[in-house]
Every structure is written in structure tokens, then in C-alpha cells.
Chains A and B, each alone.
Chain A
Amino acid sequence: MDLTLTEKHRTLRDEVDAFIARHRDRAPRSGGGRKRPDRKVLEWQALLLEAGYFGRNIPREYGGFGAPHDLIEVAIIADAFGRSGVSPGIHNQGISMLVPTLLEVGTEEQKRRWIGPTIRGEVIWCQGYSEPGSGSDLAAAHTRAAVQDGEFVINGQKIWTSSAHYADMMFLLCRTEPDKPKHAGLSYLLVLMNTPGIEVRPLRTMTGRAEFNETFFTDVRVPVDQIVMGRGDGWRVANITLKYERLLLGDANKLQHRLEAIRRMMQEPRSDGSRLLDCAEWRDRLLRLQGEVMAARYHNLRLLTDQAEGVDSGLGRLIVKYHGTMLAHRLTSLAVDVLGSAGLAYEPQGEAAEDDPATTWHIDYMYDIGLIIGGGSSNIQKNIIGERGLGLPREPKAGEA
């Protein structure tokens, strides 16, 4: 155990802190991410990329900063932005899920074409995984892509495609080999959203907003080279993406960020001059969550070390999504309680809604439940923890028992 920083890392930390202090006025509001990046966001992103505080390890030829892999550096940068409350850059599905997937298994041409525009925030991706008939049972996907005249011709329907209404591209899991067993019949395609035959219908959620969509495919034609890995490899690629998604969903820095925001609210004097932080019951609720967030953060450091040393954290990694999303919801639960009745005024429509703190907390309070369900629901996570993490036997399939 040695948490001291080397000279190089201390220097980096000081540089990042100085960068934030110098430029923080140019930063967009942190969070959001449920709308297309505006000019301010894009300019901030460009600044971060240039400084090497975003896409740091992505090779230069793909639009990144090209620094050699050093997870500690990445953690130092994330920590500096987390502490300051300044936006660490764009986090969306393309950046957090597709880019690492392409870096892992994409072709040279795919990396050159897609990674740069994606990390700059110019190309927005959505994820075409779930279908009305295959949610938790993702590998049962029915959306069909048949090969005709050197193109895939796609027919079917996806659901829960967040950001499809403004996305440029979709990474799509679909069935190309209908004669093969379920998991072996899938492929992972990259699809332009403006291809004829794609119809996006907004799906209004409990938040009152349409964060998700249904996406319909009718004879949508995609060149055959728009595939990641080969035909029948889709399940493998999809799982690489899911691994990144699950780590993203349990992100400990986000938890810390929220905890700090709630603490600040509780330190604000209220209309009668009192502060909630001075009240033992309220303070203990915050303290309990602080303890949990600390455990999550230290756990994250442990996983980071494992990752840097090429060790599979096993169980430690498998719990992150379930644990992190549940904790996130408990944080937003405290936030909406702190706001109380005055925080109930709620007008969620329009992009301006995200500028109202009370509305944002209430959106997150509900949206967090979506995150508990999405990306493999908590029950699916518990199956994975129980079976892959603890070695418990699978539930016998119907007919086996």
C-alpha cells in the first residue's frame, strides 16, 4: 500500500489544479449529458483534449492526446475535476462505451474514422441493444440483418435507445446468423442514424421527458464493412461494451460529486436561518452516505491497482454496477428530502429544465431507477454476482428441473 504520488504525478496534479483554476469560467455546467452538446460544451471539450485531460491515453492518430497508459494519471485528473466540481468533459455512450470497445477490437479504419469525432463530441452515438422481447435476455435479440448485394439489410425494432433522437450513429446488436445458436448468431454493426428506413419515436418516461426512444428498422441498408469484428461475434463485442457501461454506471467519482453537492445544500442557511447540517438526524443521514461513498471510492482505487497490474478483480468488479446505482439513488433520495416541499415545483420539459437544481435532482431521483434497471438490471447483476462471482449454480432452465 503506497498512496503517495511520484514526482511526476504530483506535478500533474498541480498542473490540473492550475488548469482548472485558470479556465473554470469557460466550463459548462457539470452533469447534464442528456442533450446534444452545445457550443460551450464543445469548446470546453476541445480545450480538455488539447491539454490532455480528456482522451489522455487515446493515440494521437485517433484524435487523442497519446500519452502512454498510466491509470494513476487518469485517476488524478478525474479526482481534480471531481474535487473542483468543474465539468470533466463529455460523458456519453459513444465516449464511455463505444470508444473503448473500438480501441479493444475495432479495425484500424474504424478507429481512425470514429474515435476522433466521437471524443470531440461531434458524433453522438446511441446503443441499439434491448428489444421489446429481449431486455434482460439480451442475446435473444430478433432484429434481423440479412446480407443482400454486399449490404446488411436490417429489419426489426429496438427500445430504450437513449439519445437516438439526436444521435448521429448507433452501435447495433442484431441477428445475422439465424441458423446458429442464440449467442453465436449476433453481430455488432455501426449504423448511420440518417439511413433511410430508420424511424425514431420518443418514449416518454416517468420523468415526463423523452430520454429514451423506440427505434424501428425497415429495410435499412448498411455496408458490410460497418461491422465490429466478424459475423457471429456480436455477443462478444456487446459484452466488451457492457463491461465499460457497468463500470461507468457505478462510477465512484460521480457519487462523490453528488455527496458534495448535497453537503453544500445542507450547509446553506434556510429561510429561518438554521442549517440542516446542524440537525443531528439530517447530519447522520448524510454521514451514513458519506461512509458508503468513501468505501466505494477506496474500492475503486483497489480496482484501479488491479487493472494497472493486469489482475482481474473478479467479484470486486462484478458488484460495481449494482452497488453504485443503488447508492446513487440513495444519494438523490437524500437530496430531494433536503429540498423538501419547496423542491417539488417541477417543469421537466425543454433543455432549460436541466438548469434548475430542484428539477434536476427530481429528474435524477427518477432517472436513477432507470439506471438501476438499465445496463443489466439489479436482478441480472445479482445473478452475475452470485454465479460468476461466488460460484453459485445457475437456476435450472424451464424443462430441465
Chain B
Amino acid sequence: MRFGLTEDQKLFDHSLRGFLSARLPLDVLRRLAEPGNGFDADLWKGLGELGLHAMLVPEEYGGAGLSLLDAALVAEALGFHAAPTPFAASLVMAVRAFQAAADDVQRRIWIPRIAAGETRIGVGLGGLSGQTGRAALRLQGGRLSGAVDGLLDGGGATHFLVYLADGRAALLDADATGITATLRRSVDRTRPLVDLDLAETPAVEVLEASNAPLQVAARVRDAGRVMLAADMLGAAQAMLDRAVAYAKERVQFGRVIGSFQGVKYMCADMAAMFEPCRAMVWYSAYAQDAILEEAAIAANHAKAHLAEVTREVARLATEVHGGMGFTDLLGLHFQFKRITFDRQVLGTSERCRHDAAVAQGWIGT
């Protein structure tokens, strides 16, 4: 038993973070975030060169066959830098969906395209995610009608994967007939939400997941929830680091403010509540691959707990910066909004805890 990262994971994390800090200084982040579509072709290409597009793809389809823990480290780094790029849905949930629910032919066609970075899939779980908004779809004769709101990674998407209430999923071409995709800039300008209106839109593929489709969909959702927890972990770590650094340099009353207990205790409180979160994210990611009987409980609690803790950290870190923290100038708000976004999508904390109660048999569904 060993609870920690491997040397390979540390090296990969180090090079990814090096890339992101070189690529996303604040002025660049501002520029990329302004359109609010959560996609930049250059950044996407660069991340692909680091191996992100194919990281979860099994080796037989030309990928690296890495684990969800590796993906969680990526999500954490992306959250830390508030990177405006698709990841959780298009490179994790979509890959997992195809692996678990697609037939052999579908997998052979689509997984290599995802791995090559040419197919980017926005994902909408609708009612299965616990998200608010419209979620009513009908599939008839291979054509999809209705509406579903709040797709993730919808900016720059070439395709959309939308879930029906019974757990089956349909893949749609973003340019298909009868599709209206409305991109809404969100409070988090680094990631948008896409609302779909569909009128007899032909499905490119239907993922039947004949064996318990609702359970398969729940596993895809849980993988997404772990990614969001990791994203919050990274975003909150960035805010905490910056608050501590600011407390060491800002002088008032002739002293650096970090020497005042009032400020020091805000930092200590952040650290105390936040520090155990890292182990929780690691465990919940690892459980998705290796401890299946705990996977759902761990994923749901990780998403819910990270949302609670990082909301506090985000507030306190902003407060430590005083008036400057409230300005646009420091750009702290990018991570604040990242946390805000992650909390609301794929189910709020209350919904995730409810799902955790169901997963351990405390209550019925």
C-alpha cells in the first residue's frame, strides 16, 4: 500500500504546470477568456502535444492508457491556472462513455479521433447530472428532438454527446440539421455552457450500453464529478498560495499583514480545511479505477466536500487581499469563478451528497 504519486506522475505534473504558467500569464488569460467560449486552438494544440488528448485512451486505440488519477492531476493543474480549455467532458467523460457504453465498431471509430484531438465532444447529462435547466429529449428512428441545457465543454466542440433519461446516449454532429447550439458565456469566462434545441436531429451514434445503461451513465457522471473536484482543488490552491504570498508582502501599520494574528488565522484556517482535500481527490480518482465498490461514494463526497471547502477558501483568500482582492486587477477572480462554476455543474453539493447516500444504501433512489 502506498498513498501518493509516482515519480512519473510528479514529472508529468511538473511539465504540465511549467507549460501552463508559460502559456497563461494573466494578460493572456484575460484575452483568451474574453470571448467566453472556453476554447483556444493554440492552447488545445499545445496540450495535445503534452499528451492530454490521448491520456485516458486505451493503448489499443493509440492512447497512453493512463488512470483517472492522472486525469485528476491534469484537472487540478488546469484549475490552478484557470485554463480556458475543454477537458473534463471532452477528454474524460466522453472517453469513459465510449469505453463503457459503445460497441466495438463505435469505439474503433471515435476513440482514436478523440485521441488525435480532432473530435471534441461537449457532454450533456441532463437530468442524470442533477443540473438545473431544460432536459427533455426524445429519440425516434435515429433522430433526436427536444432540448437539453448546460452542456460542458461545448465551446469549440465538433460533436455533442447527450443523455436520454434512460441512460442511453446519442452522439450528434455539431453541424447537423435541426440543431441549434446556443453558447452562453458563464460567470466563469474560462468555460461556457451550451444549450441545445433539437428538431429531428440525426444521431451519428447511439450508445446503448445494453447492460444497465443508467449505471454506466452514473459512472461517467462520477468521473466528471471527480474532475470537477480536482479542478476546484487546483483553483483553491492557487488562491491560497496567492493569499499567503500577499500576506507576506503587504505592509500596514508598519508590519507585513501576515504577522497579524487576524490575517494569519485566516490563512491557517484555509490551510487546515483545505489540506485534507488533496488526499480526498486522489482517493476518489483512484477509486474510479481500482476500488469500484467505493467509487460512487468517494466521487460524490469529493465533489460535495471540495465545493464546500473551496467556497470558504475562495472567500477567505479574496478577503486576505483586502480591496485589491475585490478588483479585476489581480485576476484572483478567475479562480473564484472557476470554483463557482464547478460547484453548480454536474450537481450541487446537496445533490452529490444525496447520491452518496443512495450509493451506500442509506435510502432508495
Task: Verify if B81 is at the interface (C-beta below 8 Å from A).
Answer: no
Task: Verify if A83 is at the interface (C-beta below 8 Å from B).
Answer: no
Q: Given known contacts A277-B362, A392-B259, is B3 in contact with A298 (CB within 8 Å)?
A: yes
Assess whether A382 is in contact with B353, with CB atoms less than 8 Å apart: no
Fill in one digit per residue for B343-365: 1 if any A CB lies within 8 Å of its CB, else 0.
Answer: 00000001001101100001100
Stretch with Cβ within 8 A of B (4 or more), from A25-33, A199-207, A215-223, A299-307: A299-307
Task: Verify if A5 is at the interface (C-beta below 8 Å from B).
Answer: yes
Task: Verify if B324 is at the interface (C-beta below 8 Å from A).
Answer: no
Stretch with Cβ within 8 A of A (4 or more), from B175-183, B200-208, B217-225, B261-269: B261-269
**How many A-B Cβ pairs are below 8 Å?**
156
B292 surroundings in chain A (CB, below 8 A) = none
Assess whether A72 is in contact with B362, with CB atoms less than 8 Å apart: no
A319 surroundings in chain B (CB, below 8 A) = 271-272, 275-276
Chain B, interface SS category? helix
A383 surroundings in chain B (CB, below 8 A) = 261, 264, 268
Report the bound CA distance from A386 to B247 in whole Å: 11
A72 surroundings in chain B (CB, below 8 A) = 1
A287 surroundings in chain B (CB, below 8 A) = 301, 304, 353-354, 356-357
B69 surroundings in chain A (CB, below 8 A) = 1
Assess whether A278 is in contact with B356, with CB atoms less than 8 Å apart: no
Assess whether B275 is in contact with A315, with CB atoms less than 8 Å apart: yes
Task: Verify if A39 is at the interface (C-beta below 8 Å from B).
Answer: no
Task: Verify if A68 is at the interface (C-beta below 8 Å from B).
Answer: no
Task: Verify if B11 is at the interface (C-beta below 8 Å from A).
Answer: no
Cross-interface CB contact of B278 among A1, A302, A386, cutoff 8 Å: A302
Task: Verify if B290 is at the interface (C-beta below 8 Å from A).
Answer: yes
Measured between C-beta atoms, what is the minimum distance from A255 to chain B in Å? 11
Cross-interface CB contact of B2 among A2, A290, A316, cutoff 8 Å: A2
Assess whether B268 is in contact with A390, with CB atoms less than 8 Å apart: yes
Measured between C-beta atoms, what is the minimum distance from B316 to chain A in Å? 13
Report the bound CA distance from A390 to B278 in whole Å: 17
Fill in one digit per residue for B237-267: 1 if any A CB lies within 8 Å of its CB, else 0.
Answer: 0000000100110000011101111001101
Assess whether B264 is in contact with A386, with CB atoms less than 8 Å apart: yes
Task: Verify if B298 is at the interface (C-beta below 8 Å from A).
Answer: yes
Measured between C-beta atoms, what is the minimum distance from A39 to chain B in Å? 37
Task: Verify if B49 is at the interface (C-beta below 8 Å from A).
Answer: no
Task: Verify if A51 is at the interface (C-beta below 8 Å from B).
Answer: no
A209 surroundings in chain B (CB, below 8 A) = none
Assess whether B350 is in contact with A278, with CB atoms less than 8 Å apart: no
Assess whether B305 is in contact with A294, with CB atoms less than 8 Å apart: yes
Assess whether B268 is in contact with A295, with CB atoms less than 8 Å apart: no
Q: Given known contacts A277-B362, A298-B276, A392-B264, is B308 in contact with A288 (CB within 8 Å)?
A: yes
Residue of A nearest to B241 (CB): A390
B286 surroundings in chain A (CB, below 8 A) = 1, 3
Measured between C-beta atoms, what is the minimum distance from A378 to chain B in Å? 9
> For chain B residues 120-161, which have a beta carbon within 8 Å of chain A?
none
Residue of B nearest to A326 (CB): B272
Measured between C-beta atoms, what is the minimum distance from A263 to chain B in Å? 8
B212 surroundings in chain A (CB, below 8 A) = none
Measured between C-beta atoms, what is the minimum distance from B101 to chain A in Å? 26
Report the bound CA distance from A268 to B361 in whole Å: 15
Report the bound CA distance from A395 to B307 in whole Å: 33
Measured between C-beta atoms, what is the minimum distance from A314 to chain B in Å? 10
> For chain A residues 124-164, which have a beta carbon within 8 Å of chain B?
none
B353 surroundings in chain A (CB, below 8 A) = 284, 287-288, 291
> For chain B residues 295-326, which have a beta carbon within 8 Å of chain A?
298, 301-302, 304-305, 308
Interface size class of A (residues with CB under 8 A): 35 or more
Assess whether B278 is in contact with A3, with CB atoms less than 8 Å apart: no
Assess whether B248 is in contact with A305, with CB atoms less than 8 Å apart: no
Assess whether B356 is in contact with A301, with CB atoms less than 8 Å apart: no
Fill in one digit per residue for B191-216: 1 if any A CB lies within 8 Å of its CB, else 0.
Answer: 00000000000000000000000000
Report the bound CA distance from A135 to B267 in whole Å: 24
Assess whether A323 is in contact with B273, with CB atoms less than 8 Å apart: yes
Cross-interface CB contact of B301 among A4, A290, A305, A316, cutoff 8 Å: A290
Task: Verify if B66 is at the interface (C-beta below 8 Å from A).
Answer: no
Measured between C-beta atoms, what is the minimum distance from A325 to chain B in Å? 11
Measured between C-beta atoms, what is the minimum distance from B50 to chain A in Å? 21
Cross-interface CB contact of A393 among B258, B265, B278, B308, cutoff 8 Å: B258
A394 surroundings in chain B (CB, below 8 A) = 259
Q: Given known contacts A290-B356, A295-B277, A298-B283, is B268 in contact with A385 (CB within 8 Å)?
A: yes
16 more CB-based (< 8 A) A-B contacts, given A288-B304, A389-B268:
A1-B69, A1-B282, A2-B1, A3-B3, A3-B291, A4-B290, A287-B357, A294-B280, A305-B2, A305-B3, A315-B275, A319-B275, A379-B261, A385-B271, A392-B259, A392-B267
Query: A-B pairs with the 6 shortest C-beta distances?
Result: A299-B276, A298-B279, A382-B268, A291-B305, A386-B264, A392-B258
Taking Cβ atoms with an 8 Å cutoff, the residues of A that contact B are 1-6, 9, 72, 75, 277-278, 280, 283-284, 287-288, 290-292, 294-296, 298-302, 304-306, 309, 315-316, 319, 322-323, 379, 381-383, 385-387, 389-396, 401
Listed A/B pairs (10) with beta-carbon separation below 8 Å: A3-B283, A277-B362, A280-B354, A284-B354, A301-B279, A302-B4, A319-B271, A386-B265, A391-B244, A401-B254
Taking Cβ atoms with an 8 Å cutoff, the residues of B that contact A are 1-6, 69, 244, 247-248, 254-256, 258-261, 264-265, 267-269, 271-273, 275-280, 282-283, 286, 290-291, 298, 301-302, 304-305, 308, 350, 353-354, 356-357, 362-363
